[in-house]
């Protein structure tokens, strides 16, 4: 009887150990997959914005890289939704600064969220949100909060010192 009890206890311990290992292994695989997805999102994100601003390829703001309902949060006009509104908004930077230089200083994320620290330099030599060219050079840094959805950019919210930006443009 005692032998059967010990055998039963040993079998239960082995069953628990095997089950626990599978659960830990599955969770580890999920974490690895999430990390791979995050890394893929960051790589795509950096590449697209380099081409859009530095490469002046504004037409890359399309459904290949952006969610069709992409949102720019917190603009002076309120939130802007949809690819065309998103493209029109960021076109102002490409049109307003023909020598625009956009650099991602640092980028990191978790899950489907990305945070980027960036720098933007350029000469205001074109129409910029209705402001005629001033010929002034700007050099501003900021941060953008990004939300990804199914491997595409779903929303962005930029934070930077607008007073400094407008002062550099000679508007203040």
pLDDT score recorded for residue 75: 75
Specify the 3-state DSSP secondary structure of 27. helix
> Are 119 and 139 in contact, with CB atoms under 8 Å apart?
yes
- 78: phi then psi, degrees, rounded to nearest 5: 90, -170
Distance of CA 168 to the CA centre of its chain: 27
Count of structural domains within the chain: 1
- 132 strand-pairing partners: none
Q: Which residues contact 107 (CB under 8 A, 6 or more apart)?
A: 42, 45, 46, 114, 115, 116, 117
CATH code, 35: 3.10.450.50
Task: Work out whether strand 113-123 and strand 101-110 pair parallel, antiparallel, or are unpaired.
Answer: antiparallel
Given a cut of 70, the residues of the chain with pLDDT beneath it are 1-4, 7-8, 10-24, 27-36
Which DSSP state fits 157? E
pLDDT score recorded for residue 41: 96
Specify the 3-state DSSP secondary structure of 111. coil
**Domain of residue 147, residue span:** 2-168
86 sits in which H/E element: helix 83-96
- 126-143 burial, b at 16+ Cβ within 10 Å, e below that, comes to bebeeeeebeeebeeebe
pLDDT score recorded for residue 29: 65
Give the separation between CA 13 and CA 120, rounded to whole angstroms. Answer: 60
């Amino acid at each position: 009887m005692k032998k059967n009890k010990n055998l039963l206890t040993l079998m239960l311990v082995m069953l628990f150990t095997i089950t626990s290992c599978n659960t830990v292994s599955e969770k580890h695989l999920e974490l690895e997959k999430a990390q791979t997805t995050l890394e893929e999102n960051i790589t795509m994100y950096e590449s697209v914005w380099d081409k859009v601003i530095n490469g002046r390829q504004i037409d890359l703001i399309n459904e290949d890289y952006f969610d069709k309902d992409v949102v720019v949060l917190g603009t002076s006009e309120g939130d802007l939704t949809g690819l065309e509104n998103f493209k029109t908004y960021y076109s102002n930077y490409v049109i307003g600064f023909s020598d625009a230089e956009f650099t991602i200083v640092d980028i990191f994320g978790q899950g489907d969220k990305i945070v980027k620290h960036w720098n933007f330099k350029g000469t205001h030599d074109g129409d910029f949100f209705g402001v005629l060219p001033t010929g002034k050079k700007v050099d501003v840094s900021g941060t953008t909060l990004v939300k990804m959805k199914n491997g595409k950019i779903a929303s962005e919210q930029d934070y930077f010192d607008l007073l400094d930006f407008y002062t550099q443009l000679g508007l203040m």
